[in-house]
Structure 1
Amino acid sequence: MAPAGLSLGATVLGLLAWASLAAGDRVYIHPFHLLVYSKSSCEQLEKTGAETPADPTFAPVPIQAKSSPVDEEALREALVQATEGLEAEDRLRAAKVGMLLNFMGFHMYKTLSATWSVAGGAVFSPVALFGTLTSFYLGASDPTARRLQAFLGVPGEDQGCTSRLDGHKVLSALQTIQGLLVTQGGAGSQARLLLSTVVGLFTAPGLRLKQRFVQDLAPFAVTLPRSLDLSSDPDLAAEKINRFMQAVTGWKMGTPLRGVSPDSTLLLNTYVHFQGKVKGFSLLPGLQEFRVDNTTSVSVPMLSGTGTFHYWSDDQNNLSVIRVPLSAHASLLLIQPHTFDLHKVEALTFQHNFLTWTKNLSPR
């Protein structure tokens, strides 16, 4: 994944953006109807499948081939354009996908956090996770596709086409969510945000990919298919992948890839880069002490900021909640424990409705 602090920002911002989407339109419809194939789409798929030949394939170029750098400004502009002219159904679909990936993200984070040391941890992007799994779904066939659909939270009521998840709708909804995050709210906007997603698709030499599969990922991320020897020296393969991704993105990889399974023939890595500047905030010099609990502390970079923010003190759970606006659709929700019991507060975040928390906030 991308640098740690960047992914964290994208994760927190995503949670709040989904909440604002859900509160917008009051049109009620069976939620899964928005994510599966319609009857007309199924008829078109059946007709197309009977008339067209097999999808064309291609062999990815070697990883050492010359590559153009990723243009983050162009990616940001594409996200902004994706939010123009959104209809009510588009927003409802984005809200539904946001709820699903929010739920999956919390549970995945909770499961993974049980394996971390007390002073350790990691940051986690539910959007990247959900988009990656949807990418797998687009390239899968039954029974794997059915299992992935269920894991993504969309039940298949029967084996019919109209019960199948439309992965293109999901990736389009993810593009909408990310676009709303980076869209500025005019002159009063607090900050200018960048949010870039890049997929590295690495194959063993000679393996061919379907062109349509790679093209279908476009709404979610820039996809860079490359080939290299993954089996002879897994550590060297990982090193080559890290160098390639850093060269084409310019990003410093906070958690570089380490080792590749010698049995691998296909490797899909999703990289996320989030960058934002908030008015009134500045980076404190050096590293600052952050208390994990009564006996453990870690040294981390910290920001200092002044201004009027929305605040609420939850005396029952011994914590405070502060919302820092970043743009028209994005906010940073800061949860501060009143005691040194960070793990208890972290557990509470898996149980609370963020809309309830935000309704209790008042300017301070």
Structure 2
Amino acid sequence: MHGQLIMLCLTAFFILSTCNRVYVHPFNLLTYNKSECERIQSQDPSTEKIFFPTGIESKNNAEDDIKPQTNLEEGDLGAVEKYLISLIEDLSFRAVAGWWKLQKTDSILIPYTDFFRTFVSFYLGASGNTSRSLQTFLGFEDPSASLNCTSTVNGFKVISKLKKIDNYLFSKDSNINTQRTVCMFVSPSVALSETFVHGLFSTADNFYIRAVDVKDSAKAVKLINEFLASKLQVNTKSGLTSIDGTANFMYISHVQFKGKVAKSFLLPNHQPFWTEPNKKIMVPMISVSGMFQMTEDNNANLFIIKISLSDNDFLLLVKPINGNTLDNIESSMKWDTYITWVNSLPKRYTYINLSLPRLKIQQSYNLQDLLPSLYVSELLGKNADFSKMSKTNIKVGKVINTIDFELEEGGTDPNGESNTPPENKEGVEMKLNSPFILALCEGTTKSLLLLGRVVHPTNII
């Protein structure tokens, strides 16, 4: 009897405590709390430590002297991370749609977290109206609609969460290799805030800051491209051909992604790929046979196939059929269309003999070219306030995101499944030999890591 009474009391307490629990919006977990606001407001700006970057031709790495020790978060994704993922997918899809319109005949591949993180990096150094504009642009809407310190997003918290998201979403196994490098270039007279620099170290696997004199534009371009070539593991071009002589700050990030298709092999001869209905090129093709999830949607006139790259990460390849075009598919897409595609795949698997191009795509995007199509052309303009970045009046020049994406043959099967066809059944022959949409997804959360179109499978900038 006594035990039953205790259980009854515990049950009642649990119910009452659950009912009284106050829901906290994830936004509020990313803002400054009251004590943090008081500390910020009491700080003397004149005591801020500054950092003079090493000259680009120097062999020394001055940023190594101020590199902080960072404790990265691990574990499953919670409400805050999932909230951030929704903002990343919304903003990044707007970028993809913008580039589709600006570059209608070229391959487009946008790494979602990299695009989002680029603007978070600028947010760390922004003040006043620029800070508020960037917060709104990133999608951080205050649920209480208040305008004070405790409704301001703490960019350092966001950076930490983005790193946790990356560590969770991108598989680290023999089939997938990823690396992110960030380089910032400033004029020799510009000293940067150490607080700002510290916040950026965890945004990339490799992080560099160098001073370069942009008065001689041609020499500066040559020095920067040579520096990038020496730091990147792959032979990638930045797309940097000119520099605005009035700018004193540039930002270049590079994402390398290499994936291998399990149990695949390279066909001995190049095969035709139709970049246009009446124009073909000869490209290396991968062949793979096995059990895949696929569907042909005759209402939407598209074909979808899912290819696992690891235990969690997979490719979703979408090709127009029945006379449909890539333009039609792109124009009807929304930020969450890929979820509809994933959910449309049948639970049953079909044995398929699939051939698809061996991809090697390098692309470079100057985000300053994109901002007008997103109706925020002055977001990083000459009147923007980046006084948290430097006491010098920062004038932002090129802001470049580059990607080096490769899809190769010879990967190991992440699920250990047999590629033997079912008894008495022949495999369905499928060829991806014309432009298609490519999405890289994480299976557990169904988060989108990369989205774009493949028009030319071996597009090297």
- Please indicate the TM-score interval, normalised by the length of the shorter structure: 0.7 to 0.9
Question: Which residue of the other structure, out of 138, 159, 165, is the alignment partner of 1:152?
Answer: 138
Give 1:353's aligned residue.
Answer: 337
Residue 59 (str. 1) matches residue 42 (str. 2): no
Rounded to whole Å, the distance in 1 between the matches of 2:24 and 2:277 is 49
SS in 2 for 1:36: coil
Question: Which residue of the other structure, out of 114, 119, 122, is the alignment partner of 1:133?
Answer: 119
Give 2:149's aligned residue.
Answer: 161
Rounded to whole Å, the distance in 2 between the matches of 1:301 and 1:175 is 35
Q: Deviations over 1:270-326 (max 9, x none)?
A: 111112223213344575433344344455554332222221221211112111112
How do 1:314-329 and structure 2 match up within 5 A?
A: 314-329=297-312
Amino acid at match of 2:101: A
Larger Rg: 2
TM-score (normalizing by structure 1): 0.77
Question: Which residue of the other structure, out of 164, 171, 174, is the alignment partner of 2:159?
Answer: 171
Give 2:223's aligned residue.
Answer: 240
Give 2:14's aligned residue.
Answer: none
Rounded to whole Å, the distance in 2 between the matches of 1:299 and 1:117 is 21
Residue 123 (str. 1) matches residue 109 (str. 2): yes
Residue 99 (str. 1) matches residue 86 (str. 2): yes
CA 1:183–1:123 in 2, change beyond 3 Å: closer, same or farther? closer
Greater fraction strand: 2
CA 1:58–1:345 in 2, change beyond 3 Å: closer, same or farther? same
Rounded to whole Å, the distance in 1 between the matches of 2:315 and 2:73 is 21
How far did 1:168 drift?
Answer: 1.8
Rounded to whole Å, the distance in 1 between the matches of 2:157 and 2:112 is 17
SS in 1 for 2:102: coil
Contact 1:182 1:327 in 2 (8 A): no
SS in 2 for 1:114: helix
SS in 2 for 1:219: helix
Give 1:226's aligned residue.
Answer: 210
Q: Which residues of structure 2 form unaligned runs of 5+? A: 1-21, 62-68, 351-461
Rounded to whole Å, the distance in 2 between the matches of 1:327 and 1:212 is 38
Amino acid at match of 1:167: G
How far did 1:85 drift?
Answer: 3.3
SS in 2 for 1:216: helix
Alpha-carbon RMSD: 2.8
How far did 1:258 drift?
Answer: 1.5
SS in 1 for 2:201: coil
Rounded to whole Å, the distance in 1 between the matches of 2:274 and 2:234 is 29
Give 1:11's aligned residue.
Answer: none
How far did 1:241 drift?
Answer: 1.0
Rounded to whole Å, the distance in 2 between the matches of 1:107 and 1:256 is 22
CA 1:109–1:65 in 2, change beyond 3 Å: closer, same or farther? same
Rounded to whole Å, the distance in 1 between the matches of 2:196 and 2:260 is 35
Stretch of structure 1 that moved more, 327-336 or 205-214: 327-336
Rounded to whole Å, the distance in 1 between the matches of 2:134 and 2:313 is 30
Residue 47 (str. 1) matches residue 39 (str. 2): yes
SS in 2 for 1:328: coil
Rounded to whole Å, the distance in 2 between the matches of 1:286 and 1:132 is 41
Q: How many residues align?
A: 315
How far did 1:359 drift?
Answer: 2.3
Contact 2:218 2:242 in 1 (8 A): yes
SS in 1 for 2:213: coil
SS in 1 for 2:109: coil
Greater fraction helix: 1
Give 2:178's aligned residue.
Answer: 195
Rounded to whole Å, the distance in 1 between the matches of 2:253 and 2:171 is 22
Rounded to whole Å, the distance in 2 between the matches of 1:301 and 1:28 is 54
SS in 2 for 1:308: strand
Contact 1:203 1:228 in 2 (8 A): yes
Contact 1:82 1:179 in 2 (8 A): no
Contact 1:281 1:304 in 2 (8 A): yes
Contact 2:302 2:319 in 1 (8 A): yes
SS in 2 for 1:198: strand
Q: Which residues of structure 1 form unaligned runs of 5+? A: 1-26, 69-77
Asked which structure has the greater RCO (Cα within 8 Å, sep 6+), the reply is 1
How do 1:187-336 and structure 2 match up within 5 A?
A: 191-221=174-204, 222-232=206-216, 234-284=217-267, 288-297=271-280, 300-336=283-319
How far did 1:327 drift?
Answer: 2.2
Question: Which residue of the other structure, out of 27, 35, 47, is the alignment partner of 1:32?
Answer: 27
TM-score (normalizing by structure 2): 0.62
CA 1:83–1:143 in 2, change beyond 3 Å: closer, same or farther? closer
How far did 1:163 drift?
Answer: 1.2
CA 1:45–1:33 in 2, change beyond 3 Å: closer, same or farther? closer
Contact 1:214 1:223 in 2 (8 A): no
SS in 1 for 2:74: coil
Amino acid at match of 2:48: D
Give 1:85's aligned residue.
Answer: 75
Give 2:393's aligned residue.
Answer: none
How far did 1:352 drift?
Answer: 4.9
How far did 1:95 drift?
Answer: 1.8
CA 1:254–1:324 in 2, change beyond 3 Å: closer, same or farther? farther
Rounded to whole Å, the distance in 1 between the matches of 2:60 and 2:112 is 29
How far did 1:103 drift?
Answer: 1.3
Rounded to whole Å, the distance in 2 between the matches of 1:83 and 1:98 is 16
Rounded to whole Å, the distance in 2 between the matches of 1:105 and 1:182 is 17
